[in-house]
């Protein structure tokens, strides 16, 4: 299959230059896994997108309409049954200047992509990750949502070219561990899961939320709280997650070696697999 773009339900190659998504990063996006022609974890993606729209004051289309557009894009892309849908909602076209009109009509852009391919060993034996030197700024007004302002992630991801590192861990300006450049992070010890609070920086990942839900349903305790870099050596297990990969155990983080996967991580992987996150089949 080839990458295909749509504006609403029409094939499109471009957006008007006056779109505020381009001018100011004034919009949001979701990157959704598609399996058997269906957008996986759709309710969580829709909820985050709409919550982001509300926080930015973008009058979003209704969930059902967004779903219809996503389905249409999947259906209209040749040879597309498994892959990625990127759903972008911008504030739409506008005048020059930061001020927006309440009447601006949001623009919905949808792209269909091939599945990203990663080595099987990323799941089976874990990954090595590095610590990014760029620190995330603390901005409660934008934390949690997945806005089009992503320069921090762009700069952090391009700090390294060495393919032996599958991801980079990002700290905030206070030295708290927040996330990977394209993933959320969990730690585990015999007492359960710990994942950093996403109140001042980072994106509230859909897979993070799914993992918290399945852990809870399985009786695994989970704590969402600030995690400092100094705590890293206290944890026995660590994993990264996102909507495309499910979960990758971390084998090495900076100079710390970890069980990959350890018992808690293995249990979470089994639960993910049972919930339909097929990447966690090992």
Binding residues for a second copy (CB under 8 A)? 3, 5, 12-26, 29, 31, 56-57, 84, 86, 88, 90, 96-100, 109, 111, 113, 116, 134, 137-139, 141-142, 147-158, 173, 181-182
Tokens read off for 70:
């996503």
C-beta separation of 88 from 108 below 8 A = yes
In the complex, the smallest distance separating the C-beta of residue 14 from a second copy, rounded to whole angstroms, is 3
- Cβ proximity to a second copy: between 155 and 217 the closer is 155
- Cβ proximity to a second copy: between 176 and 265 the closer is 176
In the complex, the smallest distance separating the C-beta of residue 274 from a second copy, rounded to whole angstroms, is 29
In the complex, the smallest distance separating the C-beta of residue 36 from a second copy, rounded to whole angstroms, is 21
Rg (CA), the chain: 19
In the complex, the smallest distance separating the C-beta of residue 161 from a second copy, rounded to whole angstroms, is 9
- Cβ proximity to a second copy: between 36 and 141 the closer is 141
- Cβ proximity to a second copy: between 21 and 39 the closer is 21
- Cβ proximity to a second copy: between 21 and 262 the closer is 21
Tokens read off for 242:
């996102």
How many angstroms separate the CA atoms of 214 and 205, rounded?
14
- Cβ proximity to a second copy: between 138 and 252 the closer is 138
How many angstroms separate the CA atoms of 267 and 262, rounded?
9
Q: Is residue 154 classed exposed, middle or buried when 0-12, 13-18 and 19+ CB atoms within 10 A define those classes? A: exposed
Q: Is residue 87 classed exposed, middle or buried when 0-12, 13-18 and 19+ CB atoms within 10 A define those classes? A: buried
In the complex, the smallest distance separating the C-beta of residue 19 from a second copy, rounded to whole angstroms, is 7
In the complex, the smallest distance separating the C-beta of residue 142 from a second copy, rounded to whole angstroms, is 6
How many angstroms separate the CA atoms of 69 and 56, rounded?
22
- Cβ proximity to a second copy: between 167 and 237 the closer is 167
C-beta separation of 97 from 135 below 8 A = no
How many angstroms separate the CA atoms of 201 and 256, rounded?
24
In the complex, the smallest distance separating the C-beta of residue 201 from a second copy, rounded to whole angstroms, is 8
The residue written with tokens 């896994």 in the block is 33
Helix axes 206-217, 263-274, angle to 10 degrees: 100
Tokens read off for 256:
């710390």
């Amino acid at each position: 299959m080839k990458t295909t773009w749509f504006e609403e339900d029409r094939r499109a190659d471009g957006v008007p230059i006056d779109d505020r998504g381009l001018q100011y990063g004034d919009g949001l996006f979701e990157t959704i896994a598609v399996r058997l022609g269906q957008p996986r974890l759709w309710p969580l993606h829709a909820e985050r997108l709409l919550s982001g729209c509300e926080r930015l004051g973008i009058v979003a289309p209704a969930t059902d309409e967004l779903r219809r557009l996503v389905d249409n894009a999947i259906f209209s892309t040749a040879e597309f049954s498994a892959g990625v849908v990127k759903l972008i909602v911008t504030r739409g076209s506008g005048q020059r200047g930061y001020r927006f009109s309440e009447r601006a009509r949001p623009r919905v852009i949808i792209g269909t992509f091939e599945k990203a391919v990663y080595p099987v060993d990323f799941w089976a034996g874990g990954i090595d990750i590095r610590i990014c030197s760029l620190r995330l700024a603390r901005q409660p007004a934008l934390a949690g949502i997945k806005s089009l302002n992503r320069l921090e992630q762009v700069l952090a991801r391009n700090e390294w070219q060495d393919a032996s590192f599958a991801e980079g861990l990002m700290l905030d300006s206070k030295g708290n561990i927040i996330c990977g450049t394209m993933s959320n992070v969990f730690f585990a010890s015999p007492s359960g899961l710990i994942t950093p609070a996403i109140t001042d920086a980072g994106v509230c990942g859909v897979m993070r939320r799914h993992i918290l839900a399945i852990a809870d349903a399985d009786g695994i305790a989970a704590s969402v709280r600030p995690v400092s870099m100094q705590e890293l050596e206290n944890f026995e297990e660590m994993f990264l997650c996102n909507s495309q990969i499910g979960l990758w155990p971390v084998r090495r983080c900076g100079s710390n070696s970890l069980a990959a996967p350890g018992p808690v991580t293995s249990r979470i992987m089994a639960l993910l697999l049972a919930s339909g996150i097929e990447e966690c089949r090992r």
